[in-house]
Chain A
Amino acid sequence: MKKVLLMLLVIVASITLFSCGDKESERTEITFWHMSPVGDVSYSSVKQLITDFNDSQELYFVKGVGFSFWDYWDKINVAVASSTAPSIGLSTIDDVVSRAESGVIYNISDLMAADTSGVNTLDLSEFRQSQMDFATYEDDLYAMPFSATTRALFYNLDMFEEMGLTEADVPTTWSELQTIAKMFDVQEEDGTITRIGFDPTYGDTTYHGWLWQAGLDFFDEDLNPTLNTPEHLEVLNWILDFNEDFTRTQLTAFGEANAMLGVNPFTSERVAMIVSNDGLYQTINTSGADINYGVAAIPVPDEDGIHVCWGSGFSLEMYDNGDNTDAEVAGAYEFYKYLLSESVQLKLGESLGWLMSHISAMETYVEGDPILETLLGEVDYAMDKVYVPYAPAWHASDWQTYYTQIMDGDLTPEAGLLAARNHYLQKQENYNTLNE
């Protein structure tokens, strides 16, 4: 009996010892979740920015935790749900409204109004209205844009030159794109593709991105799915038929080979043109690839096409767990302002390689670099995807199922679009049933 009790006691004691004993200081602790995990190239610079803030503070102490982009979302979703969210964290800007509505994030407008310190106040004129609109709920700001992304056409000038093309030949319409792309295609005798000019499914392309340029979308203004019109079909067929000289299997094998070689198809000159987000700039730099390239707006269907691309960005949010002390909120807001100040945004841009949301900071950052200048210019044409409460992942898991089936030839484009629309309709109906 005594032995068992003793054993239990030892276990309980060791467990309690495990759980405590890591309080850093007596200052109020603020937690900040970011996407620069241990081992990431940007880890040390983000850590340095946090240390700088901590050194300038007597009242607050920020503890940063970095997750890889891939793990971040599951973590933050569950943490918010269980009221263990960090004081400050990044999230997606397109669905700020849903969190504002459920009251899990602080009203930034209120905090701004209550902030009478006069130091480092947020200068809203330095942020894009288009981004802030996504963070606005019932006329109040519930988050601030933290970073911005955009998409553009990257083209390889060395390869252009080889074909006797110049920058003037960079395509601006879909038909020009197809004509020029064909010039670069190389296929071996056994069918293996070793080089292509362009493919509308490679890189950071999406079906909805191409749709937008043709003035179409997945949903109408009331968020009803409108997916199977002849116009939608036309865009889908254009994507499917772009490289009709190759089989889908050959195209897939080409993509797999790129991944296995661990190369970006653009930096390894296996594609002449690619649609990518601004991150490719950083990828090219770090890969050390010696290529001469340029960036332009993504070609549009024809002269009437719309200059638009899918761009998003992270929002910076302050989470309300329901038990935050006033000191925590005040401290978190100080750090919040710090992260959005011009100098910090500039440093973040440099270390993360992201385009940040602070306009002046980014203008300084891109100055003298024509590629970055063009990319920053394209941010103004970036549009974010709409938040659909009944299908938050409408562009991802929901649509991808039908998209791959259409690509693999398991479904005709007509049948695929109809099936996808019915899928959304069913989700919408079920959502309404649950929330009536």
Chain B
Amino acid sequence: MKKQTIGSLKQLRKKENRMGYLFASPWLIGIIVLGAFPILASFYISFTSYDMSSAPQWVGLKNYIILFTNDDVFWKSLWNTIYHVVIAIPLGLIVGIILALLLNNKIKGMSIYRTLFYLPCVVSIVAMSLLWMWLFQPQFGIINEVLSPIYNLFNMEPILWLQSSSTSKITLILMGLWTAGGSMVIYLAQMQDIPTSLYESAEVDGANWIQKTFRITLPLMTPSIFFNFIMGIIGGFQVFTIAYIMTNGGPAQSTYYYAYYMFDKMMSDQAMGMASAMAWILLVIVLIVTMFALRLNNKVVYLGEEG
């Protein structure tokens, strides 16, 4: 290839444009064929009554109207999901940040602790679900065994964890904290980028550990907190597998999450139109929450020198 001169800048641009498309082509092809088509099709199906065996029948907005006005299970599953998201995500953020703060000290064995805390994140969700079903098992599980002195002390009935509708949602959330190491490493990565000079000058001013944490560390960590928050929201609204394996949505639909109801609409009622409508409502909810978070982000998040 020959050396390019400034005169052929236009040509260079044109070539770069071509190269851009070429490099992006695998993904571009994928997004159009494997992304756009199914999305459009599912949007269409959401306006039909489609039982998978006969052709879709156009019903207009009826699926959406029924879901919003005459479907108690829809609201129940939405409530269950919001409950999960609202508690699990802040709790996960806090535990992840605390772990990261503990590890963000120059102490021996830091990388070992880090590995240990991260380890649960590599366990498959099926294996994790089976494990925690066993740990939470009310009569023979280890958690109630450990707590039995406390039960005896206060003369109370053992907690039934997954087997009671009043504790099942919280139990699944507590289980989720086991994987807080996943967000921890992201916080830790950002914490270690904070210039030590900031802390040093704060120390000169007589700042203690708490002041340094709240005035320096946390504000500078906002981008990664925001990132984990968004990822948590998106994943949280899709929570399905843990309930499918551990509780079957029960007891009494207390862990019957939105995605689970959608799955049943598909699989047991074979109401594809209704299920697609639910998928689209979910998408809109996630988009709205994310947009709010973005607004918040612009106000709160520290953007650093690069912006």
A residues contacting B by CB (< 8 A) are: 1, 4, 73-74, 77-78, 80-82, 98-99, 102-104, 249, 252-253, 256-257, 260, 391-393, 396-397, 400-401, 404-405, 408, 410, 423, 426, 429-430, 433-435
- Encoded as 1 (CB less than 8 Å from any A CB) or 0, chain B from 264 to 282 comes to 1001111011100000000
Q: Is B190 an interface residue when CB atoms closer than 8 A count as contact? A: no
A426 and B52 contact, Cβ closer than 8 Å, known pairs A77-B270, A257-B139, A393-B268: no
User: Would A408 and B251 count as touching, CB distance under 8 A?
Assistant: yes
Q: Residue on A with the closest CB to B66?
A: A430
Tell me if A's interface is mostly helix, strand, loop or mixed.
Answer: helix
User: Would B252 and A404 count as touching, CB distance under 8 A?
Assistant: yes
Please list 6 pairs of residues, one from A and one from B, whose beta carbons are closer than 8 Å in the complex, sorted by A's number.
A73-B267, A104-B53, A392-B269, A392-B270, A423-B73, A435-B49
**Chain A binder among B79-87, B104-112, B117-125, B159-167:** B159-167
Q: Of B49, B53, B137, which contacts A434 at CB under 8 A? A: B49
B residues contacting A by CB (< 8 A) are: 22, 49, 51-54, 57, 59, 62-63, 66, 70-73, 137-140, 157, 160, 163-165, 249-253, 256, 264, 267-270, 272-274
Number of A-B residue pairs having CB atoms within 8 Å of each other in the complex: 85
Contacts of B256 in A (CB 8 A): 401
A426 and B70 contact, Cβ closer than 8 Å, known pairs A77-B52, A80-B53: yes
Contacts of B70 in A (CB 8 A): 426, 429-430, 433
CB distance from A393 to the nearest CB of B (A): 4
Contacts of A397 in B (CB 8 A): 249, 264, 268
CB distance from A425 to the nearest CB of B (A): 10
User: Would A433 and B62 count as touching, CB distance under 8 A?
Assistant: yes
Contacts of B273 in A (CB 8 A): 434
Contacts of A410 in B (CB 8 A): 165, 252
Q: Residue on A with the closest CB to B157?
A: A249
Give the docked Cα–Cα distance between A430 and B273 (Å).
Answer: 13
Which of A257, A260, A391, A434: most chain B CB closer than 10 A?
Answer: A434
A434 and B59 contact, Cβ closer than 8 Å, known pairs A77-B52, A392-B269: yes
Give the docked Cα–Cα distance between A42 and B249 (Å).
Answer: 32
Known A408-B165, A434-B59; further 18 A-B contacts with Cβ < 8 A? A77-B270, A81-B53, A103-B53, A253-B139, A257-B139, A257-B140, A393-B269, A400-B250, A401-B250, A401-B253, A405-B165, A408-B251, A410-B252, A430-B66, A430-B71, A433-B70, A434-B274, A435-B49
Contacts of A249 in B (CB 8 A): 138, 157, 160
A-B pairs, top 3 by smallest CB distance, nearest first, are A81-B52, A102-B53, A102-B54
